Amino acid sequence: MLLADFIELAKEKILAESIAYARTILSFHDEDEAVLRDHLPKVLEAISADLRTPQSRTESIAKSHGLAPAVAHETAAETHGLMRARSGLHIEQVVAEYRALRSCVLRLWADAAPAHADALKDAGRFNEAIDQALAQSVRVYTAEVERWQQLFLAVLGHDLRAPLNAIALTAELVANVGAERDLSSTAAILKKSASRMTSLLDSLLEYSRVSLGAGMTIERLPIDLATTCREEIELQRAAHPGARIELVVQGDTRGDFDDSRIREALGNLITNAVKHGLAEPVSVRSVGRSQAVDLTVENAAAEEIPAGELEQLFEPLRRGAVQRPGSDRSHLGLGLFIARQIAKAHGGELKGYSLGQRVWFTLTLPKSAPDTSS
């Protein structure tokens, strides 16, 4: 039996063994079968099709050197590599998946059918196809990991800027007023800014591992988001002394939230409004509903932002398309991305809106953790 025919006939058995192997990887121990299968069926289909495609000796040598003809679309192996990177697998585990797939196919084929005249040629073509698929997966995997490494470094520079500004400005104030004045309030700002920086540095250890769709962990504790908002706004006023930031609280804003994460998200939304909005008050509203709390940050804009461009603001390492003259163009567009990840971790969402010359972002946070028992 030709190997291409065997792969098509025994595809489900091959996939079952591949999934069983994937479950031995700690990251995949309790994953759903759909995640474990990922694009492996498509990878097998591509390999089978490759085996049926005539190939000259010259083409075989070129393929062995990674010079196979390029295709216009993303291959199944490339998609597989991307998904495995986003699942948090190490590159060695991705390679091991292919090694296990190679061994599984050849072993089952040998057990199912007697050797034929073209068996050696079939096995050689199969190994070439596996190597090509592995190379495609590794290439895309590596590019995705490098992108997230860049994101990690960018988050470091982005999120530490605000508390550092608050510390620098407050320290300058302390130096100017002298020791004869009561410095308890300014010292409190310094303490809060230092505490925020410590929290952010802890978070960066997680950001270095996070991937698209993987989310982040949070620690829920009973808090009142009205208090969280007031304290964070005080810090933001110190970081942006020329900005006017107003707060309105309505309803019951108590619930189980991660206080540090919410401060981080709110701080990013306010910083985004101050840097990219017009020189008018930034409005912060905390509205408690029966099951959730809505945190909205609104500012004036030079013009309405189209819906497509507004959604692009949530993409990491991408500047907004609309900026007011004189705004900070070194901003890397991470604030909204981070805030949305925090919302998702709480089982909520972050959406942006633009109408006329007003732009606002609403962070919806369920008061309790979603029930995942069913």
The verdict on 123 and 171 lying in the same domain is no
Residues 241 and 333 in one domain: yes
pLDDT(73) > 50: yes
Mean pLDDT of 324-332: 41
pLDDT, the chain, mean? 80
Q: Report d(CA 78, CA 85) in Å as an integer.
A: 11
Same domain, 238 and 128: no
Provide the domain limits for residue 189.
Answer: 156-207
Q: Among the three residues 149, 166, 183, which one is the final residue of a domain in this structure?
A: 149
Task: Report the number of distinct structural domains present in the chain.
Answer: 3
**Sign of the alpha-carbon dihedral angle for 109, 112, 118, 119:** positive
What average pLDDT does range 215-222 have in this prediction?
Answer: 83
Same domain, 101 and 191: no
| pLDDT on residue 322 | 40
Choose between 85 and 134: higher pLDDT: 134
Do 356 and 235 reside in the same domain of the chain?
yes
Domain membership of residue 371 (yes or no) is no
Between 68 and 202, where is the model more confident? Answer: 68
Residues 169 and 227 in one domain: no
Q: What is the per-residue pLDDT for 208?
A: 54
What sign has the CA pseudo-torsion 119, 124, 125, 126? positive
Tell whether 321 is covered by a domain.
Answer: yes
57 & 119 share domain: yes
Q: Are residues 237 and 326 in the same domain?
A: yes
Do residues 141 and 175 share a domain?
no
Question: How large a percentage of the chain has pLDDT more than 70?
Answer: 78
Per-residue confidence (pLDDT) for residue 294, from 0 to 100: 97
**235 in the same domain as 332:** yes
Mean pLDDT value of segment 184-210: 65
Do 248 and 358 lie in one domain? The reply is yes
> Which residue has better confidence, 351 or 303?
351
In a domain, 212, yes or no: no
Confidence bin at 213 (pLDDT 50/70/90): very low
- pLDDT at res. 320: 42
